[in-house]
Amino acid sequence: MTTLTIAEAELLCERAIRSAGGSEQAARSLARQTVMAECFDQPNNGVVHLFDYLTSIQEGRIDGNAVPNITRPAPAMIHSDAGGGLAQTGFDIALEQLVAAARELGMAVFLQRNSYTCGPLGTFAWRLAKEGLIAFAGTNGPPLLAGSGSKDAVFCTNPMAFAAPQADGSPLLIDQSSSATAFANIRAAAHEGKSIPPGWAIDADGNPTTDPHAAMKGAMLAFGGSRGANIALMIEILSAGLTGANWGLDAPSYLSGHESPGTGMFVVAIDPVAIDPQFGQRLSAQLKRLSEGHGVHLPGISKGASVERSERNGID
Amino acid sequence: MTTLTIAEAELLCERAIRSAGGSEQAARSLARQTVMAECFDQPNNGVVHLFDYLTSIQEGRIDGNAVPNITRPAPAMIHSDAGGGLAQTGFDIALEQLVAAARELGMAVFLQRNSYTCGPLGTFAWRLAKEGLIAFAGTNGPPLLAGSGSKDAVFCTNPMAFAAPQADGSPLLIDQSSSATAFANIRAAAHEGKSIPPGWAIDADGNPTTDPHAAMKGAMLAFGGSRGANIALMIEILSAGLTGANWGLDAPSYLSGHESPGTGMFVVAIDPVAIDPQFGQRLSAQLKRLSEGHGVHLPGISKGASVERSERNGID
């Protein structure tokens, strides 16, 4: 077993991305997020997932040399057409402008269309919270998830992320999909010959199933029934409808074929200091009260150690 | 049975509010929302709920003569201190400014603290969508809902609303609480001597219960487990933390005592036309495809007739 520093890991990823045909900017942006996912203890979103990107560059689903077209359709809106390239590149180029706009106006939004899937969404929200901003983000992709009452998949897992800066410690981070479970859990149950709980999936005919094999031919279900499915619909409208990206139903696969999924994302940034310079202190006190006084499990807390590790190593 | 026109119903409500001690502006704002809730087929949020307001004005939980202090801490932020009065009044006063800011900057947010509970949240989002804007709103209140893993109530039902304008027909409207069910359903089960499903509530000791009587002494649970509870936490941070309102845990009751709950709300407004003048057409086509082609149950669709009725009568 070899242990790499953050810098070594990033360099290794960058070289792999360059070799696959990615531009220097693409390599830097994707390598950064890949290593950040590892630091967040999300290995499935880290180096393992990088291989999907490398294959997709080679097979034409990602234009490794795309240059995002960043425009400013309105003072509080920064828009990126990723040109069939990576989602990460456009965000990295726009980040400084987004932070400045949020600080100047109180809030601003990054809206991107025409990209490959964006990887772990929480990383985008996290980076804004490290700048002292509250962030709310979402993204869409090719269909995996049934809508409320639908018989087949009409949305991707359509995750949302929320991050808020604290005076004490790392930002609060919520990073969750709109599905009842991760697809990997259904696949694992199939491998182990176990059944899956009701509420996770429907079969190819649109009927509820506890058979993981039938589930993999059907569609995943949203968390919490129609309320979760409504969240997926909201994320779809903001990340695809508002940005001008492909709706999930129109998005080519991100794992096969030669076309970009052409999907979208949004990241809202809000400056809490415009209202109250003590926001971070109040949030820290409140989260401590919820956690220590009432036993609330705060999202992201279990990842604390890794997140701190990433911070010590400059991944922020 | 007497049938009233919209105008007659509003006038009747206004008179009742004035008689209870509400100012002219308070009467106008609250009457408008009360009748709008009736038109939305939400009678529990309509005239029935108005009596809670009247009692609260008389008992001092609502300052019927409060004048909201509206400020502009940043170009895209309109802040209201409701001064212990109604939530509806501050929003009505700020609405024109909010719409103008969203059109000029691409997006803007209304942030309010120190008010009574805001009634049906969807009405605020709806009114922005009628102006061609996408809206995302949330509000907090005194504790009713457990957090993820907590043994007691730490949040109100913390609802969220989302609305988006369509070229054809009424706006899409999502208006849902963060709880697995409405408190009224637990109360109804208790009256009927029926048990409640697992996942709705915990008892006073923090244990899961299917006994509605035990549930009413305990706390409600979020929809979809920890993911729904995380949404409640996000809504709490945006509606109380960002605005400077009371956290739910610090909010006096809205049904007894003599103090304002002092809670908060946020309403984000986004102008989709800044990106694409055809947004409304694209959304209409997509919602039609989801609904007719894939059987998706769109939120608000069942209320279509009433909403149209309210529009014909100028409630928009």
pLDDT tens track for A123-158 = 999 999 999 999 999 999 999 999 999 999 999 999
Cβ–Cβ pairs < 8 A, chains A and B: 206
Q: Do B107 and A106 touch (CB under 8 A)?
A: no
Question: Tokens standing for B146?
Answer: 């457990």
B284 CB near a chain A CB, below 8 Å? no
Q: In this prediction, what percent of chain B has a pLDDT beyond 70?
A: 95
> Which pLDDT value is given to residue B302?
42
pLDDT recorded at residue A312 = 39
Q: For A225-233, what is the mean pLDDT?
A: 97
Strands A107-115 and A77-81, by their bridges, are parallel
Pairwise CB contact (< 8 Å): A106 & B74: yes
pLDDT at residue A177, as a whole number: 96
Tell me the chain B residues in contact with residue A295 when contact means C-beta distances shorter than 8 Å.
149-151, 206
Q: Is A174 on the interface with B (CB under 8 A)?
A: yes
Q: How long, in residues, is chain A? A: 316
How close does chain B come to A95, measured CA to CA in Å? 18
Amino acid in position B21: G
The amino acid occupying position B275 is: I
Rounded mean pLDDT of A88-112? 98
What is the predicted ipTM? 0.95
**3-state helix vs strand vs coil in chain B, percent to 5:** 45, 20, 40
pLDDT at B70: 98
How confident is the model at residue B216, as a pLDDT?
95
Asked if residue A303 has pLDDT above 70, the reply is no
pLDDT, one tens digit per residue, over A55-68 is 999 999 999 999 99
| Residue B226: its H or E element | helix B226-236
Whether B270 contacts chain A with CB within 8 A: yes
- Tell me the pLDDT tens digit for each residue of B240-275: 999 999 999 999 999 999 999 999 999 999 999 999
Mean pLDDT calculated for residue range B196-215: 96
Please state, in angstroms and as integers, the Cα–Cα distance from residue A148 to each residue in A75, A259, B138, following that order. Answer: 36, 29, 22
Mutation target among B157, B235, B286 for the A interface, most CBs of A within 10 A: B286
Other CB atoms closer than 10 Å to residue A41's CB: what's the count? 16
Mean pLDDT of all residues in chain A?
A: 93
Q: A-contacting residues of B 40-69, CB under 8 Å?
A: none
* For range B43-67, the mean pLDDT: 94
Strands in chain A per DSSP E: 69-74, 77-81, 107-115, 134-139, 145-146, 153-155, 160-164, 172-176, 201-202, 208-209, 219-220, 263-270
Cβ neighbour number for residue B146 with a 10 Å cutoff: 26
* Mean pLDDT computed over A30-36: 96
When pLDDT is averaged across residues B221-229 and rounded to a whole number, the result is 96
Chain A neighbors of B268, CB-CB under 8 A: 107, 268
CA closest to B228 among chain A residues: A224
DSSP H/E element including A92: helix A87-105
Average pLDDT for chain B: 93
Q: Is the pLDDT of residue B281 over 50?
A: yes
Instruction: Determine the pLDDT at residue B289.
Output: 98
Confidence band, pLDDT 50/70/90 cuts, at residue A44: confident
- Choose among A226, A237, A249: nearest Cβ to B283: A237
Is residue A99 predicted with pLDDT exceeding 50?
yes
For residues A71-84, give the mean pLDDT: 98
Residue B71 banded pLDDT, cuts 50, 70, 90: very high
How far is residue B51's CA from residue B45's CA, in Å, rounded to a whole number? Answer: 10
Q: Which residues of B touch A229 (CB under 8 A)?
A: 296
Contact check, Cβ <8 Å, B274/A227: no
pLDDT of residue B3: 87
Cα–Cα–Cα angle for B38, B41, B45, nearest 5°? Answer: 55
- pLDDT computed for residue A304 by the predictor: 39
d(CA B85, nearest CA chain A) in Å: 20
Give me the pLDDT at residue A45, please. 87
Is residue B229 very low, low, confident or very high in pLDDT (cuts 50, 70, 90)? Answer: very high
Mean pLDDT of the region A207-235: 97
> Predicted confidence band at B306 (pLDDT cuts at 50, 70, 90)?
very low
pLDDT-based confidence at residue B165 (cuts at 50, 70, 90): very high
Phi, psi values for residue B310, rounded to 5°: -65, -35
Model confidence at A316: pLDDT above 80: no
Q: Which structure tokens are listed for B180?
A: 């697995």
- B180 lies within 8 A of chain A by CB: yes
Report yes or no: A226 and B180 within 8 Å, Cβ to Cβ: no
What percentage of chain B has pLDDT greater than the value 90? Answer: 89
Q: Rounded to an integer, what distance in angstroms lies between the CA atom of residue A147 and that of residue A249?
A: 12
DSSP assignments along B41-96, one per residue? T-GGGTHHHHHHHHHHHHHTSS-TT---EEEEEETTEEEEE-TTS-HHHHHHHHHH
- Give contacts of B224 with chain A, Cβ < 8 Å: 180, 222-225, 227-228
Mutation target vs B (from A233, A265, A271; most B CBs, 10 A cutoff): A233
B125 has pLDDT over 90: yes
Q: What is the reported pLDDT for B316?
A: 39
CB atoms within 10 A of CB A192: 8
pLDDT at res. A41: 83
More confident residue, A303 or A31: A31
A155 near B CB under 8 A: no
pLDDT of res. B300: 75
Q: What's the whole-number mean pLDDT along residues A213-234?
A: 97
Asked whether residue B120 carries a pLDDT value surpassing 70, the answer given is yes
Q: Is A242 on the interface with B (CB under 8 A)?
A: yes
Asked if B134's CB is within 8 angstroms of A295's CB, the reply is: no
* Mean pLDDT of the region A266-273: 98
- What residues form DSSP beta bridges with B174? B162
Long-range Cβ pairs for the range A231-234 (8 Å, 24+)? A231/A158, A231/A160, A231/A178, A231/B231, A232/A145, A232/A147, A232/A155, A232/A157, A232/A158, A232/A178, A233/A147, A233/A148, A233/A155, A233/B174, A233/B290, A233/B296, A233/B298, A233/B299, A234/A138, A234/B136, A234/B162, A234/B174
Residue B41: pLDDT band (50, 70, 90) is: confident
